[in-house]
Amino acid sequence: MSKLVFAYKGRYWVRDSRTLETLSAMAKAAGHTTSLAYDPDLFGVSDNVLSLPWLNRLLFDPRKTAVKAAASGADWIVLLENLTNRPWIENFIKILSESHYKGRIAMVSCRGEASIGGEASIGLLGEPEGVFGGFLKALPGQLPQKLRGEGLADLDALPLPDLDLFAPYEDFRTSYMAYAGKGCSGACSYCEEPYYRKACGPGYARLRRPARVIEELAAVKKRFGTREITFKDSVFTADKAWLKEFLAFYKTAIGVPFKCFGRADAFDPVTAAMLKDAGCYCVEFGLQTFNERIRSSVLKRPETLEAVQKAFAACAAAGLAYDADYIFGLPGESVADHLEAARRFSALAGLNRIKCHNLVYYKGFGVTDYAVKGGYVDEASVEAGDFFSGDRAAPGMRGADSAFRKLFKLYGLPGGRALGLAASSGLWRAFRFIPAFLLKPLELLGGLLRGDRRFFVYLKNYPLRVLKVIVE
């Protein structure tokens, strides 16, 4: 039996944390003990609530998690590589060595052979759950320097996630993050899903059986008394037959309000009505821009704007709130695009929130090649920043981006009519000067006034999380 310590830096509400929970459950099922060395990256670039990296640097010692992991007596420290955390992993391993860590290091990655250096004792390549199963079978014997997973894991056969890993940090009673499956069939040039699909192989985008997902949710609800669920699948509405079967189960067996992600070309009035009937309180759509040329030629979005408008209208007709994702910093966008977006947002019925993101240029992504070739970004800025912080727009657009970002984030307060007025009158320019320390409370207030459940979750959990990490 081995002692495994999973090390992770970043917010909980992403696929990596769920992957680690599953790997931990697999290790426990094989008779090993597991624990977590965790840096929540509070206020860091991955914090989607309050990203203030300077405060993060001021308050937290970046070495602490690695020093703790080194002192844990672990036989294995397991690291999971994603698109952006390679520098963190390298530094983590360096600190382990400086702290005289005696055990071994396993690095799980689906980024390919090139990404595994000599730092780790073993590189586990391929879909994490598949290759980790092979690793566990090989323990405690002689291990090669690299192990490659063959094919994809059977999602239904995997153990349910080990929630003990993050339970000390996350409040699963207030809200639970669920994944019904993995992946998306889309090929958007700026998204990680096509990247992972290509890296893990054909068939990567798949769903678990409805009954298996319900089994997980029922266990979570029983243990934590969970009151809300967010399905984090990139496109929860992709398979209508699956959705119909699942929602029928969900309504009777789970029955708590939930949120999910939809894609406009996989959404219609029947879908909206089914979701609403089963307790869905909000669907989030990837709009990104109203500029049809950028959407289709640069971002490679699979659906037309007309389909998006129809999906929004279907939600409004069903009385189902919806969020629209909007990305700033797109190559070639202009102030006119933001003005047009404001005009269109202001005319929408039932829109709950405009979720603002920043484009991130990852190596190997279609949008990155397009932007580098077109001179929209220099290679040194590739992979800088995060979805939530750091504007990589053309310098001439940053002022306007800042103003519209604040205007859109505050949509919840004045509503659509005032948004349209601010855009058409030129008042939008003044929003740039709203200080960051005022923006968050105002955004929170707007969300609460609209009755957005996510903001109630933030309000309840975030201060506790800050307190917990500071006390630690």
In the complex, the residues that contact ligand SF4 under the rule CB under 6 A are: 184, 186, 188, 191, 193-194, 234-235, 263, 286
Nearest CB to ligand SF4, comparing residues 69 and 238: 238
Q: How far is the CB of 264 from ligand SF4 (least distance, A)?
A: 9
Nearest CB to ligand SF4, comparing residues 300 and 460: 300
Q: How far is the CB of 184 from ligand SF4 (least distance, A)?
A: 3
Tokens of 96: 């382990």
Nearest CB to ligand SF4, comparing residues 166 and 236: 236
Nearest CB to ligand SF4, comparing residues 294 and 444: 294
CA distance between the termini of the chain: 30
Whether cis (ω within 30° of 0) applies to the bond prior to 144 is no
Distance CA 285, CA 237 (A): 11
H/E stretch holding 29: helix 15-29
Distance CA 169, CA 464 (A): 9
Nearest CB to ligand SF4, comparing residues 147 and 184: 184
Tokens of 191: 């998204």
DSSP label of 296: I
Strand pairing class (280-288; 181-182): unpaired
Q: How far is the CB of 325 from ligand SF4 (least distance, A)?
A: 9
Q: How far is the CB of 92 from ligand SF4 (least distance, A)?
A: 29
Q: How far is the CB of 57 from ligand SF4 (least distance, A)?
A: 31
Q: How far is the CB of 17 from ligand SF4 (least distance, A)?
A: 18
Q: How far is the CB of 378 from ligand SF4 (least distance, A)?
A: 25
Nearest CB to ligand SF4, comparing residues 263 and 406: 263
Task: Mark 292-306 as b/e (b = at least 16 C-beta within 10 Å).
Answer: eebbeebbbbbbebe
Tokens of 192: 């990680």
Q: How far is the CB of 11 from ligand SF4 (least distance, A)?
A: 19
Nearest CB to ligand SF4, comparing residues 208 and 295: 295
SS (H, E, C) 94-151: HHHHHCCCCCEEEEEECCCHHHCCCCCCEEEECCHHHHHHHHHHHCCCCCCCEEECCC
Please state whether 372 falls in left (phi above 0), alpha (psi between -120 and 50) or beta.
alpha
Q: What is the dihedral of CA 268, 273, 275, 276, to 10 degrees?
A: 140
Distance CA 298, CA 301 (A): 8
Nearest CB to ligand SF4, comparing residues 248 and 305: 305
Nearest CB to ligand SF4, comparing residues 37 and 235: 235
Q: How far is the CB of 151 from ligand SF4 (least distance, A)?
A: 22
**Cβ atoms 302, 265 nearer than 8 A:** yes
Q: Which are the contacts of 112, defined by CB distance < 8 A and separation ≥ 6?
A: 125, 199
